A and B are shown apart, each in its own frame.
Chain A
Amino acid sequence: AQSVTQPDIHITVSEGASLELRCNYSYGATPYLFWYVQSPGQGLQLLLKYFSGDTLVQGIKGFEAEFKRSQSSFNLRKPSVHWSDAAEYFCAVGAGSTLGRLYFGRGTQLTVWP
């Protein structure tokens, strides 16, 4: 069965510092991978997704993620964090079938210090 592990519950970085959020997935075939961001009182917003092809994926708001099959990872990165990036980040994996079910990790809460 598909599953997603986000090992870091809470990360704190200073504004302007680089960021990496970790995500490991479990899935037998080539997965469909997603990163979503959730701000307080808001729904989830898609940052980026990976289906196939280039393993480095660019997303919105300056985020990127790299798919590493050998490590079953899909880590999210940003070279310079802004205070407005403070939010909760969710990694998700989809089965790739006609079913749209996404399996989400538990999320990583990002705090940005000024």
Chain B
Amino acid sequence: EAGVAQSPRYKIIEKRQSVAFWCNPISGHATLYWYQQILGQGPKLLIQFQNNGVVDDSQLPKDRFSAERLKGVDSTLKIQPAKLEDSAVYLCASSLGLAGSRETQYFGPGTRLLVL
């Protein structure tokens, strides 16, 4: 079974530029998550999709971050414009069902973003 795929693995941009990350979850997984992991901290949830609908985006900085999951499969997270404090690893995870925290989340390898 293929795992969660993310691309690119690394990205370096200058502040005020825009950047996009892509995630392809495990086939058949209904729920998709984007987490931000700043160096020295644990991951923090940015947004959760169930199928193609958003169920939790309370921690997403909506003035600069956006995400979509068209057709309920893969997803794109965008930052525009980027700030220095957005430097982090962006992790995508997916889970099979809709049972919330009872579901095991499977994580991708992450995209490491450096904003200069």
Contacts and interface: CB of A to CB of B under 8 A. Distances in A.
Nearest to B40: A106
Counting chain A CB atoms within 10 Å of each CB, the highest count among B33, B43, B101, B106 belongs to B101
Contacts of A46: 104-106
Contact of A106 (B41, B56, B95): B41
A32 interface: yes
Interface in B67-110: 91, 93, 95, 98-110
Interface in B16-69: 31, 33, 40-45, 48, 55-56
Contact of A101 (B42, B56, B91): B56
A41 B42 contact: no
Given A43-B4, A43-B108, A100 B103 contact: yes
Interface string A45-62: 110010100000000000
A43 B55 CA distance: 23
Interface residues of A, number: 26
Chain B: interface residue count, which band?
A: 20 to 34
Interface in A76-97: 90, 92, 94-97
B108 A99 contact: no
B109 A32 contact: no
Contacts of B44: 104
A44 B43 CA distance: 10
14 contacts: A43-B4, A43-B107, A43-B109, A44-B43, A46-B105, A51-B102, A94-B102, A96-B101, A97-B100, A97-B101, A98-B100, A99-B48, A104-B42, A105-B42
Interface of A: 4, 32, 36, 41-46, 49, 51, 90, 92, 94-102, 104-107
Interface of B: 3-4, 31, 33, 40-45, 48, 55-56, 91, 93, 95, 98-110
